[in-house]
């Protein structure tokens, strides 16, 4: 399926620093039928995607015989191709002094309590403000993995989900931890405050998840047969820990690790997570809970916290169980709900 934004991307020029740009001239020795210029150049400059090369051609940074060309132009013997190449993107994450809360650390791994509002790793070399930037600044060594923009990162949390995350400091620790996640022997427990009062004390949600058919940034449960091939299996077990009338505190145990899985599944059963406006949740304030006090929302994001993780140490082979302290807004929310429940019960 064609990305609806692909045409916009192709029309968007690539910024080129004239001083740092590389200039290359290529002479085509002989004609090869069907040799499009974008494909040919991708073979010569594999660090650039075909889409990037097509954008460079369209903006005139690549010419044939001194004239503008098209990505579909088929090269002929004797053609002279002049190319202005942007400098390579940085392949290392920039260290940044961003505070991180370390829960556990040894020579092979560390565990941290991720804050809300920070993404796990950059999408490109010059992006900053991510957890990876903070880790590169903090740690003397991190595993390399397969992606240079994800040093040490074995698994991820959504930008606004808080809680426990494991980070590998050596390559051996990384692949051994990754194998545990792949085999689903890592046990993760999340806590969430949800809207409504779930009918069951515990249940398992087995509902496949795929990209939302309209909003590409969202995910959805695919319940129609003709959509099932676009979805991936997703299973979540939940247990209601405390009930507060219009809200409940639930423990969530993901059996699979799909993007936005817990948020989508709780919304699917009619109990979206508080503050999760993308999936039907609503921000709530002290006034909403008690009828008095501040009207400022306690959360500007989903009230979801990765509380506990159980795994086997990748090198020392001993069982590990680590917990991440609750962030203040989450603790305040639960305290208010508990106090209100106690007051009503009197």
Tokens, residue 343: 């007051």
Rounded to the nearest angstrom, the gap between the alpha carbon of residue 291 and the centroid of all alpha carbons in its chain is 37
Average pLDDT on 104-122 reads 94
| Percent above pLDDT 70 for the chain | 90
User: 4 pLDDT exceeds 60?
Assistant: no
Structure confidence at residue 342 as a pLDDT band (50, 70, 90): low
Selected catalytic residue, list 38, 158, 276, 288: 158
Average pLDDT on 104-132 reads 89
pTM: 0.73
Q: In whole angstroms, give the CA distance from residue 195 to residue 267.
A: 9
pLDDT of residue 225: 52
Give the chain's mean pLDDT. 89
Q: In whole angstroms, give the CA distance from residue 237 to residue 251.
A: 8
- Residue 191 phi/psi, 5-degree rounding, is -120, 140
CATH class belonging to 89-183: alpha beta
Q: What are the start and end residues of each CATH 3.10.290.10 domain in the chain?
A: 6-85
Fold of 185-346: Pseudouridine synthase (3.30.2350)
Structure confidence at residue 227 as a pLDDT band (50, 70, 90): very low
pLDDT of residue 277: 96
276 is catalytic: no
* Residues paired with 23 in a beta bridge: 84
Average pLDDT on 65-85 reads 94
pLDDT of residue 64: 96
pLDDT of residue 269: 97
User: 123 pLDDT exceeds 60?
Assistant: yes
pLDDT of residue 228: 46
Average pLDDT on 321-335 reads 96
Q: Is 100 helix (H, G, I), strand (E, B) or coil?
A: coil
**Most confident option among 19-23, 149-153, 263-267, 286-290:** 263-267
Q: What are the start and end residues of each CATH 3.30.2350.10 domain in the chain?
A: 89-183, 185-346
pLDDT of residue 2: 36
Closest CA to 300 of 264, 333, 334: 333
CA distances from 48 to 56, 79, 93, 161 (A): 10, 22, 19, 34
10 Å CB burial of residue 341 (0-12, 13-18, 19+) is middle
pLDDT of residue 56: 93
Q: Which residues contact 189 (CB under 8 A, 6 or more apart)?
A: 251, 252, 253, 306, 307, 308, 309
Q: What is the CATH number of domain 6-85?
A: 3.10.290.10
Q: What is the CA radius of gyration of the chain?
A: 25
CA distances from 173 to 100, 110, 132, 177, 281 (A): 21, 11, 17, 6, 38
Average pLDDT on 268-278 reads 97
């Amino acid at each position: 399926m064609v990305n609806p934004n692909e045409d916009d991307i192709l029309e968007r020029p690539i910024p080129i620093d004239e001083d740092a740009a590389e200039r290359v001239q290529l002479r085509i020795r002989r004609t090869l039928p069907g040799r499009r210029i974008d494909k040919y150049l991708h073979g010569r400059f594999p660090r650039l995607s075909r889409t990037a090369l097509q954008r460079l051609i369209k903006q005139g940074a690549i010419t044939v015989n001194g004239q503008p060309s098209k990505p579909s132009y088929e090269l002929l013997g004797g053609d002279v191709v002049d190319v202005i190449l942007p400098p390579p993107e940085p392949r290392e994450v920039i260290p940044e002094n961003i505070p991180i809360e370390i829960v556990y650390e040894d020579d092979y791994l560390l565990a941290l309590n991720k804050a809300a509002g920070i993404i796990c790793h950059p999408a490109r070399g010059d992006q900053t403000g991510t957890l990876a930037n903070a880790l590169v600044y903090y740690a003397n060594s991190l595993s390399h993995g397969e992606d240079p923009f994800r040093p040490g990162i074995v698994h991820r949390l959504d930008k606004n989900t808080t809680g426990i995350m494991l980070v590998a400091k050596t390559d051996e620790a990384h692949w051994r931890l990754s194998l545990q996640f792949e085999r689903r022997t890592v046990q993760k427990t999340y806590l969430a405050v949800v809207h409504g009062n779930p009918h069951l004390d515990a249940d398992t949600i087995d509902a496949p998840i795929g990209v939302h058919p309209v909003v590409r940034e969202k995910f959805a449960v695919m319940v129609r047969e003709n959509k099932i091939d676009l979805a991936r299996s997703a299973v979540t077990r939940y247990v209601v820990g405390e009930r507060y009338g219009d809200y409940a505190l639930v423990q969530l145990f993901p059996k699979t690790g799909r993007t936005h899985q817990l948020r989508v599944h709780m919304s699917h059963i009619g109990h979206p997570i508080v503050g999760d406006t993308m999936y039907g949740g609503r921000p709530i304030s002290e006034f909403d809970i008690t009828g008095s006090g501040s009207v400022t929302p306690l959360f500007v994001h989903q009230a979801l916290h990765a509380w506990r993780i159980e795994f086997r140490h990748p090198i020392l082979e001993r069982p590990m169980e680590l917990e991440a302290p609750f962030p203040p807004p989450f603790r305040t929310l639960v305290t208010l709900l508990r106090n209100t429940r106690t007051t009503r019960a009197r």
